[in-house]
Structures are given as structure tokens and as C-alpha cells.
Chains A and B, each alone.
Chain A
Amino acid sequence: KAGVTQTPRYLIKTRGQQVTLSCSPISGHRSVSWYQQTPGQGLQFLFEYFSETQRNKGNFPGRFSGRQFSNSRSEMNVSTLELGDSALYLCASSRGPDPPNYGYTFGSGTRLTVV
């Protein structure tokens, strides 16, 4: 069974640009969440989607947005990039929106570098 697929794996962008990251969850997983991981802050929750609806949102500015499509695939967008947005962005899928949903399956992440 294919895992969670994130594309692209690496990105280098310039300050002020925008970026779109893509995530395909495990087949049958309908809940998708996004996290930002940095050495100093660890894993920080961005948002959770289920059935194309945003269920939860973390404490990030409005420059960070996301969406989910009818096939459960998800994208996140970051506009007006700042140097501090450099991080590993992780997508995670789970069986459903309510526990016990046996935790997340994470993708390998997209490493974003803003210069």
C-alpha cells in the first residue's frame, strides 16, 4: 500500500514569493493534517482537513492556507514568503477525523528554504 506522498521534496524560494505544496494521503484515509517542523520549535500544527472542510487550524498567520479536494488530496499554500518560513513541511493522514484513529501516517515532507 502506497504511503503518504508529498511533492516536491525540496524547494528553494525567494522572500516575497509564494509556494504550493501537495500531499496525497494513503488510500482510504480521508483526514489530512499539515505540520511545520523546525529544529527550535519542533512540530507545529498548521491545519486539519476532512471531507474538504477545515476542521482545525493552528496558530499561524493568514499567509498559510490549505485546501482538500474530493479525492482527499490536499495542498497548502504560503504566500509572501519570509525567511522564517524555512522548515520541513509534513503532511499526515489518518483513517478518520475522530479518535481512536490510530495516529498519523506522515509523508517524508517538503523541505522549504527561503532565501
Chain B
Amino acid sequence: QKEVEQDPGPLSVPEGAIVSLNCTYSNSAFQYFMWYRQYSRKGPELLMYTYSSGNKEDGRFTAQVDKSSKYISLFIRDSQPSDSATYLCAMQNTGNQFYFGTGTSLTVIP
């Protein structure tokens, strides 16, 4: 079993829709949680970094962490065509080791 599981999609939504992206993990040692966005031919770009259960909001993006269920989510409100990218979740333990999901490909259709 992989330590981080992420549905690869692809996910296709109409412009303006709410997008929900999810990851599950198995290791309780993960204390820090991230979402990255990766456009084609680019490196991943950090969207959200959080280290507590609950919600963290930044503009149209909300990251949700449920440590008891070992589940994290990223919600994108009012999705735009420019949100079309691959989204990677990542977990970090206290030893500074990162574990990435395989990514979910998102297309927002105008």
C-alpha cells in the first residue's frame, strides 16, 4: 500500500464549478500537508501548506485536513480555465521527508 493515495482522474468540470480533490494517507507521522499545482512543462508550485486539522482558506482555494481520518482535500471555488493543471498532494513528517501523491489532472472547460 502506498503511503499517499490520490485519484489520478482525469477530472473535467465546467467553468465556475466547485472542484474537490482528495488524498488519503496511512502514516500517522505525517504532520504537515501541502497542495501543489503543476502546469505542463513546469515544476510544481506550492498552493497551500498547513499543519493542523481543519480548514485553511486562500482566495478561491480551501485546504481541509482531517488527521483522525487521514484524509486531506483541496476545494477550488469558481473554477477557471487557468486552473487546468495537475494537482499534487504532499505530506511531510518531522524528519523533513516529503511524500507526494501521483497527481490529479484537472481540466476546466470554458
Using CB atoms and an 8 Å cutoff, list the residues of chain A in contact with chain B.
Answer: 4, 31, 33, 42-43, 45, 48, 55-56, 90, 92, 97-109, 111
How many residues from B make CB contacts under 8 Å with A? Answer: 25
Task: Kindly state the separation between the CA atoms of A70 and B39 in the bound complex, as whole angstroms.
Answer: 32
Taking the closest CB of chain B, its distance from the CB of A104, in whole angstroms, is 7
Task: Kindly state the separation between the CA atoms of A101 and B32 in the bound complex, as whole angstroms.
Answer: 10
Contact residue among B42, B96, B101 (Cβ-Cβ distance under 8 Å from A97): B96
- Are B31 and A99 in contact, with the CB atoms below 8 A? yes
In the complex, number of A-B residue pairs with CB atoms less than 8 Å apart: 59
Q: Which residue of A lies closest to B95 (CB)?
A: A56
Interfacial chain B residues near A100, Cβ < 8 Å = 32, 49, 51
Interfacial chain B residues near A105, Cβ < 8 Å = 46
- B46, B88, B93: most-surrounded residue (chain A CB, <10 A): B46
- Are A104 and B46 in contact, with the CB atoms below 8 A? yes
